[in-house]
Amino acid sequence: MALWQNASSVIWRLDDTAKITCFIENAQNINKHTEYIIRVQRGPIKENMWNVSRRYSDFASLHSLLLKSNIDLPLPPKKLIGNMQPSFIAERQVALQNYLNEVLKHQILALSLAVRSFLDPNNYSLAISEQSLQTVSIALRGDLRYELKGPIADIGWRIRKHYFLMSDISSKTNCLLSYQHYGPDRYLCDKDLQIAFKSLQNLSHPYIDQILAIHNLENGAYVIRRIHESGSLRDILYGTEYSKHYLMKYGNPKIRKPFTTGQIAHYGYQILQAIKFLHEKGLPHGHIHPGNIAIENQRALLMEVENFVIGVPCLYRPYLLELRRVTTPEDIDLYCFGRTLYEMTFANAPEDPHCDYFPDGINMDLESVLHMCLSSHACKHGMPTVDSLLRHPFFCQAPLNGLTVAPRDEKIHLKFPIQLKEELKAAVSSAEARLKREQKLVRSAKREVRIQEILSSEEEMKKQKKRMKKRESIWKSTSSLADTVRSASTASSPSPPAPRERTPPPPPQGADMGAAEGAPPPAGRSALLHAICAFDKSRLARVSTR
């Protein structure tokens, strides 16, 4: 444990994007009600497993919290009479298992605080927002520029990130404060983190959103930004207001407004320019998605550039764990960029880690870019570079638009001290190593599951029986062949010579014409020759008696 870690902050270093699986093992009757024992596992490691007991009323409370997402979930109805019968309990257990499977199938629900606190109450508390409000209030107590007005509903998907409405006393304008707990990939000490925040606050780029203020606290950091009234790029895609709860906005949106091909090329080119600038400065973004991009005056503004140094996991990390070759920060940014273009094109996020086929009617150059970033071939053999994408025909026409090119008098600035650059390189290497370890664990877990499925399938059982019969037949044939060889070798072995009183006469003419005189008989015919000699002896004996 590093110097900046302590026991109270370890709980906030959990990876909130880790996949959770659960299975209802059994049900038990306690005090005239039924409790269902749920076995829960976080990630691919089997040691991260625990049991949690829930009643039907707990499922109903969870369901009420998820209704705002407008996603149809199959919660079984309540039953007042006969709900303690074993047959009914068994049927309800199956129905509740189907309900949990459906909830965890939707990423936006699986990452929600309601679901996490339901399955992992020890690490997720529903009162976490109140704790964040108290922390921010204490941190801003001596601030003379900004005044805290109050919390805002959960407008983002992160469980440990909370938003507050602020007022700039000097300009008398409203701004947005976000408080984020440190994540599992925070590798900078407090001193280096302060230096990095100072550099980020002085960052200037036409396609990167400005940071008004940023400060690190004991368990997290807060950032103050301007409010973009149009919301994020994702808010524009789904025609919603930025201030609404994220489950209401993105759960099952009724409005979908995909961008035109020209808009995608226009804003995509600007996003690539911002990514290239950050990479040249040694700072990967790692969190590119439509929720971290704002549109203002025909410009794309990349937000949340501080997430990497804070160490929080990426929204697309569950997909990254399924990919073997996408490990470097540059590849991750371009993979996330490809998923962003996909959502801009179809107003819908891709469901699988990679995508090889796209709907008809899409622009050919745009389809080529999506293949370069999202195809299974790209994910296995390497992602493109930022420069190669900027030279792609789809983006070559974008600079011809005057709104795409930044004004010459606009400053571009981001400078890190030399020592901090080395620490950032080490942090990048550590984050990449953690991703590779988890990718390897996921592959190992998938192999185990596949082996179990094969062994437990009926077809495999039949194949195993056939293999056993074949082995038995081969063994029997081999053993009989061995007996035959053994008997043949015993018969061909020379017997001890019998005492002879006289030399036997030569064999009849033509009996063994191919054998040389005085040569021993072939091993395979020794028994026959002995029989011939015995026959000759008996015939000579009969002749002599006559």
Render pLDDT for 403-433 as a digit per residue (tens, 0 to 9).
555 555 578 999 999 999 999 999 999 999 9
320/286 Cα distance (integer angstroms)? 11
Asked if residue 56 lies in contact with residue 118, where contact means CB atoms within 8 angstroms, the answer is no
**Inter-helix orientation angle 364-374/261-280, to 10°:** 40
Taking residues 115-120, what's their average pLDDT?
96
pLDDT in tens, 307-343: 999 999 999 999 999 998 899 999 999 999 999 999 9
Residue 8 has pLDDT above 70, yes or no: no
Contact residues for 431 (Cβ-Cβ < 8 A; gap 6+)? 185, 187, 286, 308, 311, 329
Asked if residue 178 lies in contact with residue 222, where contact means CB atoms within 8 angstroms, the answer is yes
> Which domain-ending residue is among 399, 425, 446?
446
* Residue at 187 is within a domain: yes
What pLDDT score does 408 carry? 53
318/468 Cα distance (integer angstroms)? 41
pTM for the model stands at 0.80
Residue 494 has pLDDT above 80, yes or no: no
36/207 Cα distance (integer angstroms)? 52
271/294 Cα distance (integer angstroms)? 11
Name the β-bridge partners of 35. 28, 55
Contact residues for 324 (Cβ-Cβ < 8 A; gap 6+)? 379, 380, 439, 443
**Whether 139 and 24 share a structural domain:** no
* Residue at 108 is within a domain: yes
User: How many domains in the chain?
Assistant: 2
Asked if residue 281 lies in contact with residue 309, where contact means CB atoms within 8 angstroms, the answer is no
* Residue at 475 is within a domain: no
> Which domain-ending residue is among 59, 86, 119?
119
**Whether 173 and 61 share a structural domain:** no
316: tokens are 């697309």
Residue 10 has pLDDT above 50, yes or no: no
Is the pLDDT higher at 472 or at 528? 472
What pLDDT score does 375 carry? 94
**Whether 93 and 194 share a structural domain:** no
pLDDT in tens, 350-378: 989 999 999 888 999 999 999 999 999 99
* 29 band by pLDDT with thresholds 50, 70 and 90: confident
**Whether 86 and 215 share a structural domain:** no
Residues, the chain, total? 546
User: Could you tell me the residue range of the domain that residue 75 belongs to?
Assistant: 11-119
pLDDT in tens, 33-61: 899 999 999 998 888 899 999 999 999 99
What 8-state DSSP symbol labels residue 292? G
In the sheet with 161-168, reading across from the earlier edge strand, the strands are 146-152, 161-168, 173-181, 220-226, 213-216
**Whether 374 and 273 share a structural domain:** yes
What pLDDT score does 1 carry? 36
120 CB neighbour count, 10 Å cutoff: 17
**Whether 47 and 169 share a structural domain:** no
**Whether 87 and 32 share a structural domain:** yes
CATH number where 194 lies: 1.10.510.10
Residue 519 has pLDDT above 50, yes or no: no
* 500 band by pLDDT with thresholds 50, 70 and 90: low
CATH number where 65 lies: 3.30.1520.10
Residue 490 has pLDDT above 70, yes or no: no
Is the pLDDT higher at 409 or at 442? 442
**Whether 280 and 417 share a structural domain:** yes
* Residue at 304 is within a domain: yes
Judged by average pLDDT, the poorest of 27-31, 145-149, 185-189, 222-226 is: 27-31
pLDDT in tens, 262-296: 999 999 999 999 999 999 999 999 999 999 999 99
